[in-house]
Amino acid sequence: MYKFSKRVPADGTDAVGAILKAAADPQVISFAGGLPAPELFPVAEMQAAVDRAFEKHGRELMQYGAAKGVTELRELIAQYVKEKENVDVSVENVLVTTGSEQVLDLVAKAFVDEGDTVLMEQPTYLCAVDVFKSFGANFVGVEMDDDGMDMADLEAKLKAHPEAKLIYTVPNFQNPTGRTMTAERRQKLVELAAKYDVYVLEDNPYGQIRFAGEQVPALKSYDQSGHVFYMGTFSKILAPGFRIGWVVADEQVIDKLTVLKQSADLHTDNLAQYAVPEFFAANDVDAHVKKISDLYGKRKDLMLTGIKKYFPDNVKYTNPEGGMFLWVEVPGVDDTVALFKECLKHNVAFVPGDPFFAGATQPGTFRLNYSNMEEDKIEQGLKKLGAALKAATAK
Ligand SMILES: Cc1ncc(COP(=O)(O)O)c(C=O)c1O
Which residue lies with its CA nearest to atom 16 of ligand 1? 175
Decide if 49 contacts 276 (C-beta within 8 A).
yes
Share of the chain above pLDDT 90, in %: 87
What is the pLDDT at residue 138? Answer: 94
Beta bridge partners of 95: 247
pLDDT value at 335 more than 80: yes
What is the pLDDT at residue 128? Answer: 96
Distance 168 CA to ligand 1 centre (A): 13
Which helix (H) or strand (E) segment holds residue 366: the answer is strand 365-369
Mean pLDDT (whole number) for 268-284: 98
Q: In whole numbers, what is the pLDDT of the chain averaged over residues?
A: 95
Decide if 318 contacts 146 (C-beta within 8 A).
yes
Q: Which one of 203, 204, 276 would you pick to mutate in the ligand 1 pocket, going by the greatest count of ligand atoms within 8 A of its CB?
A: 203
pLDDT value at 316 more than 90: yes
What is the pLDDT at residue 395? Answer: 65
Distance 103 CA to ligand 1 centre (A): 10
Q: Where are the alpha helices (DSSP H) in the chain?
A: 15-23, 43-62, 71-85, 101-111, 126-134, 151-160, 183-195, 251-265, 270-282, 285-310, 336-345, 375-394
Ligand 1: atom nearest CA of 203 is 3
Name every protein residue with a CB atom under 6 angstroms from any ligand 1 atom. Answer: 34, 99-101, 125, 170, 175, 203, 205, 233, 235, 240, 245
Which residue lies with its CA nearest to atom 6 of ligand 1? 101
Q: Per residue in 34-77, pLDDT tens?
A: 999 999 999 999 999 999 999 999 999 999 999 999 999 999 99
pTM passes above 0.85:
yes
Residue 1: pLDDT band (50, 70, 90) is confident
What is the pLDDT at residue 201? Answer: 98
Distance 345 CA to ligand 1 centre (A): 30
Mean pLDDT (whole number) for 81-110: 97
Residue 23: pLDDT band (50, 70, 90) is confident
Distance 329 CA to ligand 1 centre (A): 23
Closest CA to 349 of 117, 24, 48, 91: 24
By three-state DSSP, how is residue 337 classified?
Answer: helix
What distance in Å separates the CA atoms of residue 307 and residue 350, rounded to the nearest whole number?
14
Share of the chain above pLDDT 70, in %: 100
Mean pLDDT (whole number) for 168-191: 98
